[in-house]
A and B are shown apart, each in its own frame.
Chain A
Amino acid sequence: MSGPDSGHRAMTPRDLTSPDSAELAERARSWRSAYVHIPFCRRRCPYCDFAVVTPEEGGEPDRWARYVDALLSEMSMGEAWEPLDAVSFGGGTPSRLPPDELERLVEGLRERCGVQDGAEVSLEANPEDWTPEYASAVAAAGFNRVSLGAQSFDSAVLESLGRRHSASDTEAAVEAARAVGFTTVNIDLIYGTPGESMASWADSVQRALAAEPDHLSAYALTVERGTALSRAVASGAPAPDPDDQADKYEYLRAAGSVAGLVRYEVSNWAMVGHACRYNLATWAQGDYLGFGLGAHSHREGMRRRNVRRLDVYLDRVERGGLPEAGRERLTKREREHERLFLGLRRAAGAVVGSAGEALLASDAGRRLLEAEVIGVGDGRLRVLRPLLTDAVLRELPSRP
């Protein structure tokens, strides 16, 4: 890990492979990773449909330690595993937890699986939580990547997204992460919020790029079922406009490439050496363990999911049981279908394989090829227009 005075970007990238390379995309399949869900939030953002618990819903600080204990119990169940290549703390808001609680959890993972030297250990943080002191303590707890939920640099947009921080909080947070030597700093953006102008978006992009992040994730605002946003839209509030979102996406594509960021997935950009391992492993159908509320695990075609309610989770784990809510075992054919379903989101695409052959042999596949929505080269199938990825996925034969 580089020292505080080593400049803006980590000087020793972990891997000099381009984020969008096929080699990296395939190598990720062998990585092992773990996800830890921290559900606590000050309040629920109107667009969010994750497993979140606000203080009013029983997520008061006095419950945090109990939840961490439960997570540690869950980690101690099940067989030992090989050392992890990537660890991701998501939420909710992991940065609500005190650093010593985070440290206990990293320790728990070390005990269960071990963590490889040089592994990516990441957490999501809200800019307003990410003070220099906090950043320093989190780095000491073993984290080397932070994902800052900036969303926008426009105060009006931040307000309509229900966010409490300001643009300068985000800029200060990036500085704080740099100062304590985080290897990778990611900025999360949301585009296409109704009311956000193109100029506002361009400004957000430019300010995000000026902060020189190693990684950038940009998500189109999506109306998820059951959220406050979906209720508002249902009662007449403006919905995100896909054409507006397409324009904004194209702007970011151009600006990101000028800044040297490589797009390696539909919504993700990275500098060389900074592609997110945890996500790459997911898109490569790698194995991962998930701990906590609503967390998912994947082991060789078996996908499991945990319960989403805090009281149920605590109750189950404290009584020594697994908090599993359901599972599905994929057949060989389903796994092959899923290989493309996930893999085609990457710029590197996926090996054609039997699912790809079936697509290319279909009328729909030929039309997509003709319209240059997809392309084939080096034995790989790629989506050439990432914004139309789902139009491609819908044509994948279910039984390749």
Chain B
Amino acid sequence: MLDPLQAPMTDHARIRNFSIIAHIDHGKSTLADRLLERTGAIAQRDMREQVLDTMDLERERGITIKANAVRLEYLAADGKSYVLNLIDTPGHVDFSYEVSRSLEACEGALLLVDASQGVEAQTLANAYLAIEEGLEVIPVLNKIDLPAAELERVEAEMIGILGGESKDVMRVSAKTGEGVADLLEAIVHRLPPPAGVATGPTRALVFDSYYDSYRGVVCNVRIVDGVLRRGEEVRFMATGIQATVDEVGVRRPAPVPVAALGPGEVGYLITGIKEIELVRVGDTVTATSRPAPRPLTGYREPKPMVYSGLFPTDGDDFERLREALDKLRLNDSSLVYQAETSRALGFGFRCGFLGLLHMEIVRERLEREYDLDLVATAPSVEYRAHLTDGGEVAVRSPQDLPEARRLDSISEPIVRAMIITPREYVGTVMELVQQRRGQMGEMTYLTPERVELHYRIPLAEIVFDFFDQLKSRTRGYASLDYEPADYQRAALVRVDILLNEVPVDAFSSIVHSDRAFRRGKAMVERLRELIPRQLFDVPVQAAVGGRVIARETIKAKRKDVLAKCYGGDVTRKRKLIERQKAGKKRMKMVGQVEVPQEAFIAALRIDE
């Protein structure tokens, strides 16, 4: 075999760069597995499911969080060998920025749709994004082996969205491998090769980066123009940082170093850089000896959509939490945080997330990988408080809200939302969106059966349980995508919760005044159920501006003792008490009251 370091760069006419756009569970990872197998990138005996999803969480949840890229060598029917770079993308709305960067690294995309489900809003949003970026899109119907597959209906939907004809829609079963051979041919013949010239200034797009404890920051890059060579000096244009290229290479999927990456190629880049903040997704890398006059388009700071406080249950763990967040951020530059103090919860961090899924993932990783017990406060969006003196304050936590006499008004972030639903649920969806203060925009029939609805909705109404509600009211058929629009004034108030007469800042929330009473009532009822009985009566109150709007009482517990303890079971009883005691460690003392973590979590999922 040729030493890869000596191998010439690939002729860009023989390169195809593509991603797979698919909704969760529509079979993207399985199709990727099959492509790897068919092109011999991975021997069948080394095959495990979701090869490209390397994080435990990704495998468990069946989702892709990090983008990834793999190079496939494919001998096509025309007898020529092609390099197919599959750029894997996250499939969740929280990570749409990552998706857009991944798409920018491609010339083509497979729009993969489960033939038993149909097109979903996120898929559609990403498909539109791909079309806007000028990508060639191949529609692919997956799971054609399923008895529930509705090939004609879903095919009609895809043609409705992308245009084209029935013959353009590929039919595969990623599970059985049926149709995969034809798909590989279609990738070669229908997707265009990358443009670009080897001479002249170098421009490479960073579409992903992560931290490796041995190698430092590793970037996944797509060379747009010029060449990136081992040993030469490069500059990251957004941050201005300069570094020497220690290694460039390709993934097959194991990393294989090469001497240089040429135009159109996809690979990885390792420099001496250790700080992930200096290497941002979307940045452009250029060679200092052949500098590009302008970066590629589209780098933007990741903008948190949702904020939540994270507090260690055990106050002594604050420093460990800080270290854990610092480490997580090495691989997740979209995570932002700053220390904050809560009267109820002590020292912790106010963290910004791309969305609720991102928030859950971060919390789960902190607990699992760093063995921390955490309390997360209700998520909040970033409001803007307009002051009587004309000033303006960003409000990322209900506690940041200025006092009433200084406050003129509050505005809240609005998103443009797209919902796709079967026709029979249109009424249900409209009702839900209306309850959530949404304003209806356009409505389009994708097919006579499926409708695309556009709305403007306050972000705060979406981040709580909107998606769950949408799913349950449409029996799982509707799907959602959204993007930030602007800010709009609204009649918002802060509902405070008092436990044993003491306000618990962690339970406060900002809601529309029409909903304050219902929220307050629901919160106190829920907390009465969730907080175990204490040694004394505990009043739970909801208040707006000092006025109590709802009240419940957690009655003092009266009996908490094992009836019997005799010679025969001393050990067993002691172990039982020890287990119960361990359970108590997951309680947070709020004043004199023990509050289980579930109470803080459930408070976010309040059903009014």
Binding site for B on A (CB under 8 A): 33, 35, 37, 50, 90, 219-222, 242-243, 245-246, 249, 266-267, 278-279, 282-283, 288, 290, 294-296, 298, 303, 305, 328, 338, 341-342, 345, 363, 367-368, 371, 373, 386-391, 393-395, 398
Contact = CB atoms under 8 A, between A and B. Distances in A.
Closest 4 interchain pairs by CB? A246-B558, A219-B563, A282-B567, A389-B561
A290 B571 CA distance: 14
B565 interface: yes
Given A368-B535, A371-B536, A290 B567 contact: yes
B560 A387 contact: yes
B578 interface: yes
Interface of B: 535-536, 557-571, 574, 577-578, 580-581, 584, 589, 592
Given A387-B558, A391-B535, A296 B577 contact: no
Contacts of B584: 394
Given A387-B559, A388-B557, A390-B560, A367 B592 contact: yes
A290 B568 contact: yes
A148 to B, nearest CB: 17
Contacts, number: 96
18 contacts: A90-B568, A222-B563, A222-B564, A242-B560, A243-B558, A246-B559, A267-B564, A295-B568, A296-B569, A296-B570, A338-B570, A342-B565, A387-B558, A387-B559, A388-B535, A394-B577, A394-B584, A398-B578
Contacts of A245: 559
B329 to A, nearest CB: 34
Contact of A390 (B535, B570, B577): B577
Contacts of B536: 371
B433 to A, nearest CB: 38
B125 to A, nearest CB: 46
Most buried by A among B536, B561, B562, B569: B561
B338 to A, nearest CB: 29
Contacts of A303: 570-571
Given A267-B563, A279-B566, A282-B566, 19 more contacts: A249-B559, A279-B567, A296-B567, A341-B574, A341-B577, A345-B565, A368-B535, A373-B535, A386-B561, A387-B560, A388-B535, A388-B557, A388-B558, A390-B560, A391-B557, A391-B560, A393-B577, A394-B577, A394-B580
A242 B562 contact: no
Nearest to A34: B567
Nearest to A387: B559
A219 B571 CA distance: 20
Most buried by B among A90, A295, A303, A393: A393
A133 B363 CA distance: 71
B571 A328 contact: yes
Contacts of A283: 565
A222 B562 contact: yes
A242 B561 CA distance: 10
A394 B581 contact: yes
Contacts of A33: 567
Contacts of B563: 219-222, 266-267
Nearest to A281: B567
B370 to A, nearest CB: 24
Nearest to A334: B574
A270 to B, nearest CB: 15
Contacts of B581: 394-395, 398
A298 B570 CA distance: 10
A386 B566 CA distance: 16
Nearest to B589: A363
Contact of A242 (B557, B568, B571): B557
A246 B558 CA distance: 6
A282 B570 contact: yes
Contact of B561 (A295, A305, A363, A388): A388
Contacts of A246: 558-559
A222 B574 CA distance: 17
A387 B565 contact: no
A334 to B, nearest CB: 9
Nearest to A295: B568
Contacts of B557: 242, 388, 391
A208 B349 CA distance: 61
Contacts of B574: 338, 341
Contacts of B535: 367-368, 371, 373, 388, 391
Given A371-B536, A373-B535, A393-B577, A388 B564 contact: no
B410 to A, nearest CB: 39
Contacts of A279: 566-567
A388 B560 contact: yes
Nearest to B573: A341
Contacts of A221: 563
Contact of B559 (A50, A242, A394): A242
Nearest to B578: A398
Contacts of B578: 398
Contacts of A35: 567-568
B567 A390 contact: no
A233 B577 CA distance: 22
B558 to A, nearest CB: 4
A232 B566 CA distance: 26
Contacts of B577: 341, 390, 393-394
A367 B592 CA distance: 8
Nearest to B577: A393
Contacts of B567: 33, 35, 278-279, 282, 288, 290, 296, 298
A70 B581 CA distance: 40
A100 to B, nearest CB: 26
A265 B580 CA distance: 22
B111 to A, nearest CB: 48
A193 to B, nearest CB: 12
B295 to A, nearest CB: 56
Contacts of B561: 266, 386-391
